[in-house]
Every structure is written in C-alpha cells, then in structure tokens.
Amino acid sequence: MSNLTAPRSPSSSVGDYLKAVWELARDSGEAASTKDVAARLAVSPASVSNMFARLQEMGLVSYERYRGATLTGRGRSEALRLVRRHRLIETFLLGHLGYSWEEVHEEAERLEHAVSDGFTERLAEFLGHPEHDPHGDPIPAADGTLEPDDSFQLGRAEAGEQVRIYKVNDDDASVLDYLGEHNLTPGRLLTVREVRALDAVVTVEDEEGESHSLGEALARSIFVQKSQ
Amino acid sequence: MSNLTAPRSPSSSVGDYLKAVWELARDSGEAASTKDVAARLAVSPASVSNMFARLQEMGLVSYERYRGATLTGRGRSEALRLVRRHRLIETFLLGHLGYSWEEVHEEAERLEHAVSDGFTERLAEFLGHPEHDPHGDPIPAADGTLEPDDSFQLGRAEAGEQVRIYKVNDDDASVLDYLGEHNLTPGRLLTVREVRALDAVVTVEDEEGESHSLGEALARSIFVQKSQ
DNA sequence: TAAAAATATTAGGTTTATCTAATCTTATAT
DNA sequence: ATATAAGATTAGATAAACCTAATATTTTTA
C-alpha cells in the first residue's frame, strides 16, 4: 500500500539540522560544528555526526570529518524556505493570535514543519506580504532570496551617530519584553550619546527625547543600521 | 541527552488511528475493523492490528482479536480533542486563508498534529468560538463534549416535511462545490416536495421558492433536522 | 612538544511506524 | 457442512532518529 517509497521532501528533522547550520553560520561565519548543532537541537553529538553524513549524501551540506558542515546552495534554499515559514508564522501568532514573545518561538518551531508551501503563501497574502517579522528579522522571499543584513550591535556604534533599530535578538524573551515596554523596537531612530568602554553601557536618546542607558546584555540584543 | 523517555502525549500516528476509529464508529455504530481503518489511513491491515494492540495497552481502545476496536472514554476524548482541532483549523483555512473545499482537508489533517492546545484555544478565540465548522459539523468543546447530532440524510425525509440543513458531507469536494453554488448550505430551510422511491430523487423548495431535484448522491450528502 | 582536555566519530542498540509474506480465523456460498 | 473467500494476525524486515559507550582526532596547555 503506497509503498512506492515516494521521495518526499526532506523530513522534518533534516530541516531542523539545516536551519541550525544556517543560523550558526550566520552568527559565526564558520562551518557548523557537531557540538554547537547538538546543543542547539538538544541531541547528542553522535546524532549530529550521523546526520551530517546523511545531509552530505543528499547534497545539502558539504561536510568534512572533524571539520563541521557548511550548507550547499540547495541546503541553503531549503533552510531559507523553513526560515520563511517560521517568520511568517511568528508574525501571525504575535499579530493575530495574541501570543507573547516567550510562547511564540516554540509553537512556530513545531508548525513550520507541518505547513505546506501553499499554506505559507496564503498566510503571506493574509498578512499583507510582510518583509520583516516582528523582531525586525527579514523574511526570506518565496524564491529563496534574503535581504542582505548590514546591521550591527548597538554596542559597536559610536557616540554621536544616528542609528535606526533594525532588529532585536529573539533569544531571550525577557530582554524582548523589556525592549517592547520601552519602545525600543525595529524602525525606531536613536541618537547615540555615549558608548562607555569601561562597562559597555550605551546611552541613547530616542525620537521623543527619552534617554536610555543600556547595559551589555541589552546593547548586544539591539541591532542597528546607520541612519543616512 | 534528555533521554528520560518522557511519556509525551500520544504520537501523531496514534491520533490518526483514534480519529479513524471514532469516525468509523460514528458512521456504522460498530467496532472498527482492521480493514476499514487500514483503508482510511492508507496503511496495511498488518499495521492496524499492531496499532490496535498498542492502543489497547495504552487504555485508549478496547480490542478483541478478529473483532475490531472500540474507543474507551479516554480514547474518545483524545479523538475529540483532535476533531476539535481539525474543525477549527478548517474553519480558519476556509474563512480566512481562501482555501477551497478540496484543499482544506489535507492541510488541516497535517496541521492538527502540529498545533498545541494553547494554539487551538487562541484560534477558537480568533474565530469567535464557532460551534460548527463550515460544513455544519459541530465542533467538540474544549472539555471534550460534543453536541448530539440528530440529523438524518435528506433521502430519508418525507414529502411535506419542513427541514433545516444541518450539515453537508465533506467526503466529496465536487459535491460540496455544487451545493455551495446552489446555496444548499447549513442553516437553510427546505420544504420537501417529493421523495421518489423509484430513483431516490428528492425534490425540495428553498427559502426563496427555488426548486431543486437532487439525485441519490446529493440527497445522501445533505443531512437535515426536522424544523419544529 | 607531549600530556591532558575538548570534540568528533564509530559501533552497537532502541523505539516507532511501517512493510511483505505466511498463517490463522471467521464468514459465505455451494 | 464443508470448501473457498475474505479478513486478521504473526513473524521477520526496514528506515529514520535517536541514544550510550568506546575510540579517534584535534586543540590547548603546561
């Protein structure tokens, strides 16, 4: 019965690995190590070694033993397809179902494996084809292209600069909550007053003239672009 | 890592079997046979025998070899939880994402395994807590109760009766499309003009005085209740 | 630079869900 | 009432993901 071994699209767990490799490469610029992927997916390093070998066979990563894995073109576009789904789903959960920052990630993680491309595109339509998710992260286009991201951490800015918040890191929900409450959200314009080397505290002034002093953890979570 | 063999909620395929047993019992009133469940889920009868034994161990069905399976209380409420999800998701896909009757079932089938109870309740909220899906089928309540269904097929009605369309069968998308086009949808009031034994054609008149002659396939797909 | 520490891989299992083929039980029909 | 057909079960495999324990390689540090 339907044992034609239909070569279905990569299984959901293949996708998890591809996304993890993509995210690690994005943050570090290097090949993804067994250990890091294992930590991110909460599996054993042995499982990752195994999967890397399989992904290599499938032509989704290039992998050299003891050296980690890098996405191939196909691997990257598969990963971006999932990232697109994830970010559209998060946008929906936050904007229409009343999810909080904390809850949204986990639900989106599960949903992104279950929805079809058809669903994804209809959801994009429903949401008005947003180009960024609520954290400010760009949503990859349906054709697998992704807006280049030239933002940098607020902690790297210089005093006197005018910057625009591009995105906020989605790793820590409590940080996200704080930033939301103080209106430090994507799109906001900031003037950098001081970047103190000593304790990494950054002082900025927002559009309303409100001043904020942000410690390292916060300044690292805010990514900005130079404003003209 | 995290190998505590957490007794997670029944796996997605367990849910498929429970729903199949529930649906077959609803339509036939009997224990579900290996063969019928196998056909419905497109798996081999051997797989069903296997799963029946496992479901029995889990206390979700009562099962006697060669005699088929019936849901226990727990099995039924688990099945209804999935039916609730399914019907809410269908309501959303049809009402907000522009899905057609044909497409909706398959997508909902996949999604219902991925969403959490939290998602389900937020979606219910978003949809305004509907009590019926777009086919007219009642949506089980969050507490696992289901409105009793005393509807019957239009073919069983008698000439002269006033009936209200309660639900339309969702098995055949082309039938559904025809009914939709002719406004024979849940909630509509009909007067039965003739039920011809000879060829099972039923003639009805709708609220606008429009007359419809419906052959067996159509008359069997429309479920009605007596109107007062 | 050699020993120790950190990482990675391989080997050998386990679980879930499936299959096919062979056998067994129940139902049907002559 | 018995032979045949239909349906169900068991046995034995397979594939995907995972694990632990043992071993190998690379990196760090003394």
Q: pLDDT digits over A128-144, tens only?
A: 999 999 999 999 999 88
Q: Is the pLDDT of residue B12 over 80?
A: no
What pLDDT shows up at residue A10? Answer: 56
**Mean pLDDT of all residues in B120-130:** 98
**Mean pLDDT of all residues in A184-188:** 94
Residue type, B207: E
Q: What percent of chain A has pLDDT over 90?
A: 81
Using the CB atom, is residue A31 less than 7 Å from strand D?
no
Residue from the list A2, A38, A107 with its beta carbon closest to the beta carbon of B119 = A107
CA nearest neighbour of B145 among B66, B227, B73: B73
Q: In what order do the strands lie in the sheet with B222-226?
A: B152-153, B222-226, B162-168, B189-196, B201-205, B211-214
Q: Report the C-alpha gap between A47 and A63 in whole angstroms.
A: 15
Residues of A in contact with B36 (CB under 8 A): none
Taking a contact as any Cβ pair under 8 Å apart, which residues of chain B between 30 and 49 contact chain A?
38, 42-44
3-class DSSP assignment, residue A27: helix
What pLDDT shows up at residue A27? Answer: 83
What pLDDT shows up at residue B165? Answer: 96
A115/B111 touch (CB, cutoff 8 Å), yes or no: yes
pLDDT tens for B175-188 read 888 998 999 999 99
Beta-carbon count within 10 A of A194 CB: 11
Q: Is the pLDDT of residue B131 over 60?
A: yes
Residue from the list A2, A43, A126 with its beta carbon closest to the beta carbon of B42 = A2
Instruction: List the single best residue of B35, B94, B112, B122 to mutate versus A (max A Cβ within 10 A).
Output: B122
Q: Is the pLDDT of residue B2 over 80?
A: no
**Mean pLDDT of all residues in A76-101:** 95
Integer angstrom CA distances of residue B183 from B158, B176, B186, B214: 21, 10, 9, 13
pLDDT tens for B188-216 read 999 999 999 999 999 999 999 999 999 99
CB A94 within 8 A of CB A104: yes
- The average confidence (pLDDT) of chain B is 91
Scan for tokens 């950054």, then name that residue.
A202
Q: Report the C-alpha gap between B217 and B228 in whole angstroms.
A: 26
B111/A107 touch (CB, cutoff 8 Å), yes or no: no
Q: Report the C-alpha gap between B197 and B205 in whole angstroms.
A: 18
What pLDDT shows up at residue A29? Answer: 87
Q: Is the minimum CB–CB distance between A111 and chain B shorter than 8 Å?
A: yes
Residues of B in contact with A93 (CB under 8 A): 119
The Cα angle at residue B129 between residues B125 and B130, in degrees rounded to 5: 140
Task: Using CA coordinates, name the residue in chain A closest to B111.
Answer: A114
Residues of A in contact with B113 (CB under 8 A): 114
Residue B138 confidence class, pLDDT cut points 50, 70, 90 = very high
pLDDT tens for A1-54 read 222 222 234 567 899 999 999 999 998 889 999 999 999 999 999 999 999 999
Residues of B in contact with A34 (CB under 8 A): none
The Cα angle at residue B118 between residues B114 and B121, in degrees rounded to 5: 105
Give the best-scoring range by mean pLDDT among A10-14, B27-31, B64-68: B64-68
For residue A70, the Cα-to-chain-centroid distance in whole angstroms is 17
What pLDDT shows up at residue A72? Answer: 96
Task: Using CA coordinates, name the residue in chain B closest to A121.
Answer: B97
Q: Is the pLDDT of residue A145 over 60?
A: yes
Could you tell me where the DSSP H helices lie in B45-72?
45-57
CA nearest neighbour of B157 among B208, B194, B207, B199: B194
* Nucleotide D19 C1' to residue A104 CA (A): 29
**Mean pLDDT of all residues in B153-168:** 95
Q: Report the C-alpha gap between B130 and A111 in whole angstroms.
A: 23
What is the DSSP pairing of strand A211-214 with strand A222-226?
Answer: unpaired
CA atoms within 13 A of residue A171's CA, in its CB half-sphere: 9
Q: Is the minimum CB–CB distance between B122 and chain A shorter than 8 Å?
A: yes
Residue from the list A44, A103, A114 with its beta carbon closest to the beta carbon of B114 = A114
**Mean pLDDT of all residues in A55-65:** 95
Residue from the list B38, B43, B107 with its beta carbon closest to the beta carbon of A116 = B107
pTM over 0.85: yes
Q: Which of residues 150-209 of B touch strand C (CB under 7 A)?
A: none
What pLDDT shows up at residue B10? Answer: 53
Using the CB atom, is residue A65 less than 7 Å from strand C?
yes
Residue A18 region by backbone torsions, left for phi larger than 0, else alpha for psi between -120 and 50, else beta: alpha
What pLDDT shows up at residue A5? Answer: 24
Using the CB atom, is residue A35 less than 7 Å from strand C?
yes
CA atoms within 13 A of residue A88's CA, in its CB half-sphere: 28
Q: Is the minimum CB–CB distance between B111 and chain A shorter than 8 Å?
A: yes
Task: Using CA coordinates, name the residue in chain B closest to A113.
Answer: B114
What pLDDT shows up at residue B7? Answer: 27
**Mean pLDDT of all residues in A201-215:** 96
Residues of A in contact with B44 (CB under 8 A): 1
B68 forms beta bridges with B64
**Mean pLDDT of all residues in B29-46:** 95
Residue ranges of E strands in A37-85: 61-64, 68-71
